[in-house]
Structure 1
Amino acid sequence: MAGNEKKIIIVLAITSIIAIIGAQIYRTATAFHYEDHLDEVVISVDGNDLTLREFGYYIYTTEEFVQKQALLYDPEDPLHWWNTHFSAGLDSQFISELAMKTAINTYLSHIIYYNEAQRAGMALNTSQEETAFKEATELYSKMSDFNRERTGLNEVLIYSVIRRRDLGAKYAEYLALNMDFSGFDDEPGALLAGDGDYFQNVILPQHTVVKNEKLIKHLKIGRITVNNR
């Protein structure tokens, strides 16, 4: 082999190595580390900010629910279910996409109903407060150390979220008894849920919602508190 050819091969080899190392450095530098973003705002509703740390409750409970389905569908590879795509016209989506929408819409309904409940002077009674606290304690106790650290959740924060959910539920019950749902097919409970037609088409448009899409696109639901080992 001629000397020039050897030099060319060496140069190409060195260039390839540099390119590979550069790509690895870039991936490392741009990798998304969930725990580093816990105090960033994910969603703002009428000026009420929700951090990723608080949103961790919705991620954890949504993943827990869907993971049970995933394990029934394919015990050896639950991600098979998370990555399943359903074709339904404009509503076609992956299970993971549906799960994220569910988590977000659930929060939206909770915070909107909670704020309306406060404006209406509603409050939880002592028994309801105690029930919320007990649920928060039980949920936190069953979380693994990994998921506690991963989500940044603690008993106090979980209790706050559950309390907000329960007070919001009281307002939703009030709406179910007093609103006119003519023109809608489902029963009031389903219509008023976060993904319900009445909530999505009548209630939600009355509020200002700002989503941190840049952050949300990095949230790989189905791999945050489950399927991450």
Structure 2
Amino acid sequence: MEKRIRFTIILVLILIVVIAFSFQSKEKKEYLVYNEALDKTAVTVDDVSLTLKDIAFYVAYEEKTVQEQAILYNPDNPRQYWNVYTDGQFVKLTAKQAALDMAVHDEIFYQMAVAEGMKLDVTEQEYLENDESDFWSDLTDWQREQLGISEEELDSEMEKIALADKYQSIYAQMHQKEYEAYNFNGEAYEALLSEHEYSVNEKVWDRVEFGSVTLDN
């Protein structure tokens, strides 16, 4: 009798583990509707949480960039390019990682710029406003809806990027390096990145179907 009870308890525990694992797997595989999950944290950089709304620009920018390459690769079926396997990874996943890496990179330099009290000058502000207008106007109404952010919110994110870019240039000069050395894939930046802490919320980021947020192909 005691053995039977023990066996039953073990079976119940195994069943609970299997159900929990199945639920987690199912949750992870289901893609998020981006514009309905904007408040979810995608990545944390030095205790600063960046939501899907905060990194929406990078998603739209990288999807736009890769789609332009995809159209050149196969005008009749651009989607084919997204599934090309090169350098040990699918283009789709490489682009997704690049978007996240750029967001982390810019947040680090933006925080450094803020700490120095840096602001854009009049000329830089004018360039920024032109870039903001161009980027927003390039998005179709459908893409804007899928992205889920307003023009003002996009402008705010692009201003942060402009400040990060400005400080990157100054920081590179301070360390007698080329500007490109501190790009998100630069060697000098890798050393800087090691001085900061960041963590990806995989439960959210893994469920972003990159290549299909602002694209319908």
Q: TM-score, normalised by structure 2?
A: 0.81
SS of 2:199 mapped into structure 1:
strand
- Whether the 8 Å CA contact 2:83–2:91 is kept in 1: the answer is yes
Residue 197 of structure 1, aligned match among 187, 198, 214:
187
- The CA deviation string for residues 54-100 of structure 1, in whole angstroms up to 9 with x for no partner, is 2111010101011010001011111111111114xxxx111111101
* Residue pair 1:57, 1:153 contacting (<8 A) in 2 also: no
Q: Does 1:135 align with 2:124?
A: no
Letter in 2 for 1:219: V
C-alpha separation between the residues in 2 aligned to 1:77 and 1:42?
A: 30
Any gaps of 5 or more consecutive residues in structure 2? 1-25
Q: In the superposition, relative to structure 1, how do residues 32 and 170 fare at CA in structure 2: closer, same or farther (>3 Å)?
A: closer
Q: Deviation at 1:180?
A: 5.0
Given the alignment of the two structures, is residue 85 of structure 1 paired with residue 85 of structure 2, yes or no? yes
Q: State the shift of 1:166 in Å.
A: 1.1
CA 1:129–1:98 in structure 2 vs 1: closer, same or farther (change >3 Å)?
same
Give yes or no for the alignment of 1:173 onto 2:162: no
Aligned residue type for 2:206? K
Separation in 2 of the partners of 1:62 and 1:193? 15
Question: What secondary structure sits across from 2:208 in the alignment?
Answer: coil
Which structure carries more relative contact order (alpha carbon 8 Å, separation 6+)?
2
Counterpart-to-counterpart distance in 1, 2:131 and 2:80: 31
Contact 2:34 2:148 in 1 (8 A): no
Residue of structure 1 aligned with 2:120, choices 119, 124, 129:
124
Q: Which residue of 1 aligns with 2:5?
A: none
Find the aligned partners of 1:133 and 1:155 in 2 and give their Cα distance.
12
Distance 1:41 1:75, change over 3 A: same
Query: For residue 110 of structure 2, what is the amino acid of its counterpart?
Result: Y
Whichever residue aligns with residue 161 of structure 1, its letter is: E
Do the aligned residues in 1 keep the contact of 2:82 with 2:92 (CA within 8 Å)?
A: yes
Deviates more, 1:157-166 or 1:135-144: 135-144
Whole-Å separation in 1 of the counterparts to 2:33 and 2:66: 23
Amino acid at match of 2:155: Y
1:111 aligns with 2:100: no
Partner Cα separation in structure 2 for residue 105 and residue 75 of structure 1: 28
State the partner residue of 2:150: 154
Cα contact 1:114–1:168 (8 A) shared by 2: yes
Q: Distance in 1 between matches of 2:76 and 2:52?
A: 30
In the TM superposition, structure 1's runs of 4+ consecutive aligned residues that sit over 4 Å from their partners are none
TM-score by length of 1: 0.77
**Long gaps (5+) in structure 1:** 1-25, 182-187
2:208 to 210, 214, 219: 219
- Give CA-to-partner distance per residue, 1:34-69, whole Å, 9 cap, x none: 222111111111122211122111010101011010
Q: Radius of gyration: which is bigger?
A: 1
**Residue 35 (structure 2) pairs with residue 35 (structure 1):** yes
Q: Closer, same or farther in 2 for the Cα pair 1:31/1:193, shift >3 Å?
A: closer
Mapped contact 1:54–1:153 kept (Cα < 8 A):
no
Percent of aligned pairs sharing the same letter: 26
Q: What is the deviation of 1:103?
A: 0.6
Contact 1:140-1:154 within 8 A present in 2 as well: no
How many equivalent residue pairs? 190
Deviation at 1:105, TM superposition (A): 1.1
Cα distance in 1 for partners of 2:82, 2:183 equals 23
